[in-house]
Amino acid sequence: MPRITSQAAIAVLLGLAAAAQAQTPATPVMPEVSDVATLPPAGPHRLWIEDAFSGAAQVIDGDTGALKATIPGASLSSYAAGPDQRMVYVAESIWTLGNRGQRQDMVSVYDGLTLKLQTEIPIPSRAYVASDGQVFALNHEGTRAYVYSMQPASGVVVIDLALHKVLRTVDTPGCALAFPWGSDGFSALCGDGSLATVTTGEKPSVTRSAAFFDAERDPVFEQSPTNGATGRTFFVTYSGAVHPVDLGPTPRFEPSWSLQAAAGLQPAGVENGELAWRPGGYAPMALHRASGRLFVLMHAGEHWTQKKSGEELWMVDTAAHKVLRRLPLKDPCIGVAVSQDDHAQVYLMDEKGNLSIRDAQTLDELRSVEDVGRGIPVSPAL
Amino acid sequence: MPRITSQAAIAVLLGLAAAAQAQTPATPVMPEVSDVATLPPAGPHRLWIEDAFSGAAQVIDGDTGALKATIPGASLSSYAAGPDQRMVYVAESIWTLGNRGQRQDMVSVYDGLTLKLQTEIPIPSRAYVASDGQVFALNHEGTRAYVYSMQPASGVVVIDLALHKVLRTVDTPGCALAFPWGSDGFSALCGDGSLATVTTGEKPSVTRSAAFFDAERDPVFEQSPTNGATGRTFFVTYSGAVHPVDLGPTPRFEPSWSLQAAAGLQPAGVENGELAWRPGGYAPMALHRASGRLFVLMHAGEHWTQKKSGEELWMVDTAAHKVLRRLPLKDPCIGVAVSQDDHAQVYLMDEKGNLSIRDAQTLDELRSVEDVGRGIPVSPAL
Amino acid sequence: MTRLTLDGLGERLTRRLAGRLSRRSALARLGATVVAAPLLPVLPVARAEAALPSSFTRNAQTKDPTKCDYWRYCAIDGLLCTCCGGAVHTCPPGTQASPTSWVGTCVNPDDGKSYLIAYRDCCGATPCHSKCHCDGTERETPLYRPQGDNDVIWCFGLTTMAYHCSTAALVGLAE
Amino acid sequence: MTRLTLDGLGERLTRRLAGRLSRRSALARLGATVVAAPLLPVLPVARAEAALPSSFTRNAQTKDPTKCDYWRYCAIDGLLCTCCGGAVHTCPPGTQASPTSWVGTCVNPDDGKSYLIAYRDCCGATPCHSKCHCDGTERETPLYRPQGDNDVIWCFGLTTMAYHCSTAALVGLAE
């Protein structure tokens, strides 16, 4: 008598025996069983919307605009995906009593299809920041994860993602962030405008370059795009100077060039009152690695407006140092992302929380999604 | 050389010795010291805005409309104040890993002036609900707290607020909520429309009345207002029938009367299609205990619209069974509260999150506060 | 019993154990329900319909389960899983479907019949960012009739009660 | 050192201790700062102003500290404590003032002078519901120059880093 049984169970659970007895039994028909969805294998147009403060990343299908799932995360977590997004990693800091209690830093590991928690990798510490920069990154093979830590001192926690354990923490005094290259190396940016090159083997080594930018007057964005497979990286300054660097054991620095000059304009300066088109936003740029095309949110403003939303999207050929397209944006945008396939899509998030999905070639809008909520778009493809 | 010292400290902390050295020391002037504010002793017009989902209660001064402080709380917490709001209590459920891990149920105790956490009283369980009803309540002396629990079975956790410990949990099968009366008694509402009377001494006793309302077809609001000092309680049904009951060891039931009739209208029925003025909202009513005046949010609708926002505020004389005023509301309101002093204020929260503060006598608006955010107004005066 | 036992223990310990014990007991007691779930319904069947359908029914549609006026949502309260990567009776990836639920009786305007709907919450993850928030209140009852209370977080018997979204599973004919 | 020690421990234990140890070390190292706080400033002084004031300075006011264009907020990022029951350099009740801060150099339009402003976060409570969110970016630098980074949660050395709101304390003349 399953109905009796379940009635009894609920009655006990809810302490409502009396009420339950009183109820007219319903005609049994085949009831629907509740189940749980799984994600299809990730295609190239899968998109994440990362909301730093509320935590959680929305998983969106760029081909439909539909919300497919939510990756759970504590406030101020960082998110990353392994090869083919078969695994999803969340670097997070959680207190046992929410706003108080014992701090717990970890990298939580989720299956990429079921989003079921696989394990938690405890880490000694991580930078607790509302930053969209390279604070949590994987190497291009997805075998290593690097977590930037600034408490108490500047360092990078190196994690073996196969063993699910911390290998070591490399001190990076005066330097921050982690731009991975090769199997076990990464580079960091330093407060004096130099680059730190770090190998993370048994005996970690840290070497410093000469300063290649003015970190005080015209810093490079911590969201400067990098290609973990080749080490090719474009460090872009607040004023729009592009410093191409091939990261690796011995980094190769190329002469810098100007985004504005690439558009046939005067390079922008850093003095007060100097109005120019400048890069800005919370996710101000994205690189399509195969084509070397850089998509940058640009706004008209003075220096020190590096977080101002983009009024135009510039499509830049980083080989020819040429701006190919300038797309005026109806609503100012806080972030841009680009997928990494041949038929790439560009994702633009505006200040109202509306997402625009566009063809990366033509920049025509394919579809838009209203009111996605705060957060920046990220293409999780490794 | 304090400057050196502190420079060094910061340098170490941030791992930026290099950068720090490079800096021009600033001319020492008397710098401002950071301090922490404390609340003044609570006046009668102090107001709480409780946001069930985000957690936290905003403390607002009804005489200025200013936000004075925030009472921290986990999602789905319940809030209560002791005598003169010298102590603030938060009943909350927190998981050690935020959305996972070990569940911890507790009543967190805060000093009413500093809002510093004094202690946490662990409790076996509590109902985890988005309810604004009597799930957490103090007796009128502020010596006992009652926490309704429905996991696994229906019961009420009795807490001694002097000893900061749980005395016992009283099972209340088939009954829920806690309307405190006297020093150590409370009443609960039952699924069959009866009232359970509970004494919580060494040998707790639970007695049940005959059914006095139809819990299935016309339930009474769980937010029905009660006076813990006298036991005087007005159980109001979804259709607007008022059941006055003097809660106590032997509850005294008075004949019910109709809100609509008190306004010279036909009492509202419960059949589909029957349009009438009905009580509704998330905090649909509030009682000014001294005057016995009931303030009810009313809307025009059919039965089963008990959460619909109020389109009018009715001021009701509960002794004369007479509606004294019907105030049309410009924007529909989700909640109402009233202060308990002689120069009482009425607080109205509309659907847009705007708060209106009015004179409880004239219902004239004294001031309004824009965009206070989701949440219902509560006057925490015991 | 659980509670009496706990009262004997030290406070710290009590707190550490409280959740686990009470969840265990809940799970034990729920076992039957979980197993029997396919053959639910348990639960309150509304009395014979009044001649006139309710206002919700009169305005309900049967095509789009991402809208609040979808017929099954007559007593739902929460974020629709249909907007969060789930479906009408399917939880989004990474969440757990609650073995317990509150229940509504909704009329399908296509056949005019009343059906029992089990509103099962999907739990165990931060809330969905869904814009689809609905609050149906037909025959919705207060906590003292919890089987009809949609303010309760219906995640009993799961490893966590973090609320994500709500589903509406058809469990039977009400007549 | 902390970390090397931790690497030796079992994973569970590591996690249990990590926060506590690193906070302790932070506190130890911060001791001097905390004590010396009244005699701060430590910190980067911008180079001599360019002839023209910055756009923020040109539009700044000195009357209303609950507005983003208040002169001291040239490099603030966050919720203003002045809207949360605190004041320009006062944390709201129940929160803790961070002993550390990021720093901005703002011009007071009344005297045209540049001042060092220490932006100290108030921590230890759920975020303020303040509508007063501001994001000044004057001389705001990335993580590799953290003393000027307003994306960092500046709650180092406190018992919790839960962010509530941000203050702007005057610490000295920049010239």
Cβ contacts (< 8 Å) between D15 and chain B: which residues? none
Q: Is the pLDDT of residue A22 over 60?
A: no
Cβ contacts (< 8 Å) between A110 and chain C: which residues? 94
Per-residue pLDDT, B41: 96
Q: Find how far residue B211's CA is from the centre of its chain.
A: 27
Cβ contacts (< 8 Å) between D16 and chain B: which residues? none
Chain C, residues 105-124, CB within 8 A of chain B, namely 124
**How confident is residue A53, by pLDDT bands cut at 50, 70 and 90?**
confident
**How confident is residue B324, by pLDDT bands cut at 50, 70 and 90?**
very high
CB contact under 8 A, B17 and A174: yes
- Give pLDDT < 50 ranges for chain D: 1-50
Mean pLDDT over each residue of chain A, to the nearest integer? 91
Q: Are strands A241-246 and A232-236 parallel, antiparallel or unpaired?
A: antiparallel
C172 closest CB neighbour out of A8, A10, A26: A26
- Please tell me if residue D19 touches chain A, with a CB cutoff of 8 Å: yes
CB contact under 8 A, A27 and C86: no
What mean pLDDT do residues B115-127 have?
A: 97
CB contact under 8 A, A56 and C126: yes
User: Phi, psi at residue D93, to the nearest 5°?
Assistant: -50, 140
Per-residue pLDDT, B30: 80
Nearest to C99 by CA among B148, B100, A36: A36
Q: Is the pLDDT of residue A16 over 50?
A: no
**How confident is residue A30, by pLDDT bands cut at 50, 70 and 90?**
confident
CB contact under 8 A, A69 and C118: no
Chains C and D touch (3+ CB pairs under 8 A): no
Q: How far D92 CA sits from the closest chain B CA (Å)?
A: 5
Nearest to C173 by CA among A32, A4, A27, A6: A27
Q: Is the pLDDT of residue B57 over 90?
A: yes
Cβ contacts (< 8 Å) between C114 and chain A: which residues? none
Per-residue pLDDT, C34: 27
Catalytic residue among C71, C77, C102, C154: C102
Buried/exposed A89-117: b ≥16 CB within 10 Å, e otherwise? bbbbbbbbbbbbbbbbbbbbbbbbbebeb
CB contact under 8 A, A18 and B96: no
Per-residue pLDDT, A351: 95
Q: Is the pLDDT of residue A17 over 60?
A: no
A18 closest CB neighbour out of B94, B155, B192: B192
Other chains touching B, judged by 3 or more CB pairs under 8 Å:
A, C, D
Q: What are the residues whose beta carbons fall under 8 Å from the beta carbon of B319, sequence distance 6 or more?
A: B292
Residue B177 backbone class (left: φ over 0; alpha: ψ -120 to 50; beta: rest) = left
Per-residue pLDDT, A20: 34
A174 closest CB neighbour out of B18, B153, B192: B18
Nearest to D130 by CA among B116, B56, B77: B56
Residue C4, token pair as written in the block: 């009496």
Q: pLDDT per residue over A226-245, tens digit each? A: 999 999 999 999 999 999 99
Q: pLDDT per residue over B334-345, tens digit each? A: 999 999 999 999
CB contact under 8 A, D29 and A152: yes
A102 closest CB neighbour out of D19, D49, D145: D19
Per-residue pLDDT, B297: 98
A74 neighbors A92 (Cβ within 8 angstroms) = yes
Q: How far D151 CA sits from the closest chain A CA (Å)?
A: 5
Q: Which residue has the tokens 């309704």?
A: B148
Q: Is the pLDDT of residue A331 over 80?
A: yes
Q: What are the residues whose beta carbons fall under 8 Å from the beta carbon of B48, sequence distance 6 or more?
A: B57, B58, B59, B60, B71, B79, B377, B378, B379, B380
Q: How far C15 CA sits from the closest chain A CA (Å)?
A: 12
**How confident is residue B373, by pLDDT bands cut at 50, 70 and 90?**
confident
Residue A290, token pair as written in the block: 């195969």
Chain A residue closest in CA terms to D6? A124
What mean pLDDT do residues A283-287 have?
A: 98
Determine the residue among D2, D12, D42, D66 to mutate to test chain B binding: the one whose Cβ has the most chain B Cβ atoms within 10 Å.
D42
Cβ contacts (< 8 Å) between C29 and chain B: which residues? 152
What mean pLDDT do residues A315-344 have?
A: 98
Q: Is the pLDDT of residue B37 over 60?
A: yes
- Give pLDDT < 70 ranges for chain C: 1-51, 175
CB contact under 8 A, B31 and D126: no
Residues D92 and D81: their CA atoms lie apart, in Å, by 7
User: For residues A171, A173, A178 and A179, what is the CA-based torsion angle, rounded to 10 degrees?
Assistant: -120
- Please tell me if residue C130 touches chain A, with a CB cutoff of 8 Å: yes
Per-residue pLDDT, A152: 67
Q: pLDDT per residue over B15-30, tens digit each? A: 333 333 334 444 456 8
Q: Is the pLDDT of residue B298 over 90?
A: yes
Q: Is the pLDDT of residue B2 over 60?
A: no
Q: Which residue has the tokens 């009472």?
A: B71
Q: What percent of chain B has pLDDT over 90?
A: 86
Q: Is the pLDDT of residue B321 over 90?
A: yes
Q: How far is CA D59 from CA A300, B13, B17, B260, D109, in A?
A: 17, 35, 35, 57, 9
Chain A residue closest in CA terms to C128? A70
Mean pLDDT over each residue of chain B, to the nearest integer? 91
pTM recorded for the entire structure = 0.87
**How confident is residue B79, by pLDDT bands cut at 50, 70 and 90?**
very high
Q: Which of A142-156, A184-198, B224-238, D41-55 is predicted with the least confidence, judged by mean pLDDT?
A: D41-55
Catalytic residue among C71, C77, C121, C154: C121
CB contact under 8 A, D20 and A135: no
CB contact under 8 A, B151 and C44: no
User: Is C154 an annotated catalytic residue?
Assistant: no
**How confident is residue A29, by pLDDT bands cut at 50, 70 and 90?**
low
Q: pLDDT per residue over B161-190, tens digit each? A: 999 999 999 999 999 999 999 999 999 999
Per-residue pLDDT, C51: 66
